[in-house]
Structure 1
Amino acid sequence: MRWTSSDAPVVYAGETYVPVTLGRSEPESRNELSRADLTVTVSLNNPSARTWMQSSLDSLITLTVFAKEDADVTVVWKGRLASIKPTDATIELLLESIFTSLRRPGLRQKYQRVCPHVLYGKGCNLDKAGFAVADIATAVSGTSMTISAAASYPAGYFTYGMIKTAGGVFRMITNHSGSSITLIRPVDFAGDFNITIYPGCDRTITTCNDKFGNRNNFGGFPYIPLKNPFNGSSIV
């Protein structure tokens, strides 16, 4: 997306920047603006921000801020979207400077028994469409609901999975037993109770292999010994 705070479209480098209502917070205290973290505020109805708010931010979303004075255009800030915070009337995009990546360790995966990958995300590489179960939610009350199709699967099959509404909103499933599903928090169905549910994973190699047939992408180290073979101390 290409936005401008101007009241008219701006064309730069062959691209058109569309005027939208937006604001920017005062940068954090830094010697250089380019190294500061920013908060960009847009309207609650901004379609791009609403899409990012409903996703898990698995994909990298970057922002480049240009300053235009007459014919001169300069880059004053670059960074990535770190998190999103909706308010009553706006959506706040919390962004961190590109310089913060220089402070991170190069290797971030831990030596652990369970898999660190996000289910259906990068590293896991499962296509969630292949595990989707479509149905209609009934007896909805807060975080609890009844989904008849879920009764065809063993208890816990959808636990730690997710539900997707017809409006594209995702919610994590915290418990599944029979046709009963419990969500991490309520969801607004907006009158359309058609949903899609996806099974969950407890991140063990047994579940990865037996439930999803995805052992080749398992990212944990399930065979870590319980005790250090050299001195007998615990290493887990």
Structure 2
Amino acid sequence: MKSIPAQLLADYQSGTHTLAQCVLFSRLDGVEVALTSADVPVVVGGRTYLSDPGLTVTNIASTAGLAVDNLELRLLPDAAIITEADILAGRWNQAGFQLFEVNPRDPSHGINQLMEGILGEVTMQRGGYRTELRGIEQALQQSIVWVTQKTCRYRLGSASHKDGWCRMDLTSYTHAGAFTGIVNAQVWEDSGRAEPTNYFAQGTITVTSGAAQGLRFLVKQYASGQFTLALPAVIVPEVGDTYVAVAGCDGTRDTCRDKFANILNFGGEPDGVGEDELTKPADAYD
């Protein structure tokens, strides 16, 4: 059963106190952002919740079952806290959040924990940002069964129920370097690379220094030290910035066997018959 601190409960019951919502965001890169809907910063548990971006939280829609609790959150742009470039670059994807209510005049009265989960899609609207806050029940909406397919369903290097049982040790397939040329937002170069053509195709490249530090990109093509990304980068590295690139896998049985020597863990069914073969009438086999 949910418990609300006695002093905060008294604030609710009095009807004369102004309550504010506070949200703590935790991005996957370790950055935390604390915001409040109050008109002044609020300090809770030693952390300052900023009021600058103009936080607005809609009413929470909550159910007693396993349906996903959700609500919307709106923010005004703030170059020092949440930038459009960071959003477009994916730094806020799958960020976690904790939402609670507090008496901003006296936070020592305690907090009323309202919701926690992950962010949904972040969009621009009327000069501000809008995002859906999805409750922890969202994880229960995901498919948990495998579907047969010709190519491997596992993520390269994974060893879990979530991403599959590839189990490939990628240490020898992971390579560090520094960019010697930036052609544009989608084509980057390292003249010191000597791997064969398309060695990194379908792999990833993660920038480890500079403005794009921490961002990871999918490699579409690779040849003679030139990486072509699947999509242009929003935040582009500069010459001299460092990176780590991981060899790619196209999911075929031949690649699993010949490139990674990992055929025992191949997660596809390349020899399976198609739907037409399974559903054709018996006399068609004569």
TM-score w.r.t. the length of structure 1 is 0.69
Residue 78 of structure 1 aligns with an amino acid whose one-letter code is: E
Task: Please tell me whether residue 210 in structure 1 is matched to residue 253 in structure 2.
Answer: no
Structure 1, unaligned stretches of length 5 or more? none
**More strand by proportion, 1 or 2?**
1
Is 2:180–2:240's contact at 8 Å kept on the other side of the alignment? Answer: no
Deviations 1:170-217 (Å, cap 9, x if unpaired)?
Answer: 222111122332122145214533332221111123222332334454
Mapped partners of 1:55, 1:211: distance in 2: 32
Q: Which residue of 2 aligns with 1:8?
A: 42
Residues 60-209 of structure 1: pairs in structure 2 closer than 5 A: 61-69=95-103, 71=109, 73-83=111-121, 94-101=132-139, 104=141, 107-121=144-158, 122-123=163-164, 124-126=166-168, 128-142=170-184, 143-150=186-193, 152-165=194-207, 166=209, 167-183=213-229, 184-186=231-233, 187-190=235-238, 192-209=240-257
Is 2:70–2:133's contact at 8 Å kept on the other side of the alignment? Answer: no
Superposed CA RMSD: 4.0
Residue 110 of structure 1 aligns with an amino acid whose one-letter code is: V
Residue 207 of structure 1 aligns with an amino acid whose one-letter code is: T
Q: Which residue of 1 aligns with 2:278?
A: 228
Mapped partners of 2:265, 2:58: distance in 1: 43
Change (3 A) 1:83 1:31: closer
Is 1:135–1:148's contact at 8 Å kept on the other side of the alignment? Answer: no
Residue 48 of structure 2 aligns with an amino acid whose one-letter code is: V
Change (3 A) 1:168 1:148: same
TM-score w.r.t. the length of structure 2 is 0.59
Deviations 1:65-107 (Å, cap 9, x if unpaired)?
Answer: 11124625322223223445689x98765432334455x3653
Bigger Rg, which one: 2
- Provide the identity percentage: 19
Mapped partners of 1:93, 1:130: distance in 2: 40
Is 1:4–1:10's contact at 8 Å kept on the other side of the alignment? Answer: no
Is 1:55–1:170's contact at 8 Å kept on the other side of the alignment? Answer: no
Q: How many residues align?
A: 221
Change (3 A) 1:140 1:73: closer
Partner SS, residue 37 of structure 1: strand
Residue 172 of structure 1 aligns with an amino acid whose one-letter code is: L
Mapped partners of 1:209, 1:56: distance in 2: 36
Structure 2, unaligned stretches of length 5 or more? 1-25, 27-31
Is 1:4–1:17's contact at 8 Å kept on the other side of the alignment? Answer: no
